[in-house]
Amino acid sequence: MKKIFALILAILMVASLAACGGSNDATTADDSKPELVMGTNAAFPPYEFYDEDGETIIGIDAEIAQAVADKLGMTLTIKDMEFDSLLTAVQSGAVDIVFAGLTVNEERKQSVDFSMTYATGVQVIIVKEDSEIATVDDLAGKTIGVQAGTTGDIYCTDEFGQENVKQFTNGALAVAALQNGQVDCVVIDNEPAKSFVASNDGLKILDTEYAVEDYAAAISKDNTELTAKVNEAMEALKADGTIDKILAKYIKAE
C-alpha cells in the first residue's frame, strides 16, 4: 500500500513540474518583444558616444531611439560601425534604422527614407588658437580634416577639392590630426566640436557657420511600415516633450 501511495505521489509531482514548465515557457513567449536594431557611429558626442566605462553607448540618438523602441513595444539593440557604412547597412537590412547625427540631403534621399527631423545641426570650423584662419573664405588652399562620409566631407570636397580634404573614420581622429599639424582645420557639427575643443587645449571654434542642416533617422526604402511607425512614435515624443527634454539634457542653452 505504501509503495502504491509513493508511486501516485511521484506521478503527481512530475505532472506538477511539467505544468510549471509549460507556464514559464508561455510567459517567456508573451514577454518577448521584436528587436529594433539601430546602427550608429559612437564617436559623435553628444549624439552618440560611450559612457565612462566604455561599454554602453549613450547620447541624444541613443535615448531618442530607446524612447521610440519603447513606444513601439520593441527591444533596442545598438550596433557601432563606421559612419560611411551606415546607409549601406540599413539598405541591406543589417540594421533596421540609423540614428547617427545624420543630415537629411537630396543625395541620401535617393537611397534611404528619413524620419521626421528631430534636431538642427550646424557645421563649424575648429582651428588652433593661433591659426590664421578666421572665416570660411580662408579655407581655400588649406588642408581640411573631416569625418569620412559626413556632410562636412561632402561640402568641403565639393567646394575645395579632394586634394585639400583629408578624411578620417571619426571626428576625434580628425581633431588629433589638427593637434599634430596634419591638417589646418576640422569641419564638423557644432555639438561634437564643443566637446572636442573642451577636451583638447589650444583649439577654438570659429564664430561662423559653415552650414545649417536637419538631423533625422534613416530607414530602408523597402521598410515603409517601419518608417510610418517610427514617425508616429516620434511625433508623439515631440508632442509630449520627450525629445526636447533629451536634447536639453545634452545640449545646454547658451
Could you give the 3-state DSSP secondary structure of residue 27? helix
Lowest mean pLDDT among 22-36, 80-94, 164-178, 219-233: 22-36
Matching fold, domains 35-118+216-250 and 121-212: yes
Identify the DSSP state of 105: -
When computed from its CA atoms, the radius of gyration of the chain, rounded to whole angstroms, is: 25
pLDDT tens, residue by residue, 216-250? 999 999 999 999 999 999 999 999 999 999 999 99
Identify the DSSP state of 3: H
CATH superfamily of 121-212: Periplasmic binding protein-like II (3.40.190.10)
Is the confidence at residue 83, as pLDDT, over 70?
yes
Instruction: Output the DSSP codes for 141-156.
Output: TS-EEEETTSHHHHHH
Which of 53, 161, 38, 54 lies closest to 101, judged by CA?
38
pLDDT tens, residue by residue, 91-150? 999 999 999 999 999 999 999 999 999 999 899 999 999 999 999 999 999 999 999 999
Ranges of each domain in the chain? 35-118+216-250, 121-212
- In the chain, the amino acid numbered 48 is E
Could you give the 3-state DSSP secondary structure of residue 94? coil
What's the topology of domain 35-118+216-250?
Answer: D-Maltodextrin-Binding Protein; domain 2 (3.40.190)
Q: In sequence order, what are the residues at sequence separation of 6 or more whose Cβ sits closer than 8 angstroms to the Cβ of residue 30?
A: none
Beta strands in the chain (DSSP E): 35-40, 43-44, 48-50, 57-58, 75-80, 97-98, 112-114, 119-128, 144-147, 165-168, 185-189, 203-205, 211-215, 218-220
What pLDDT score does 142 carry?
97
The model scores a pTM over 0.85: no
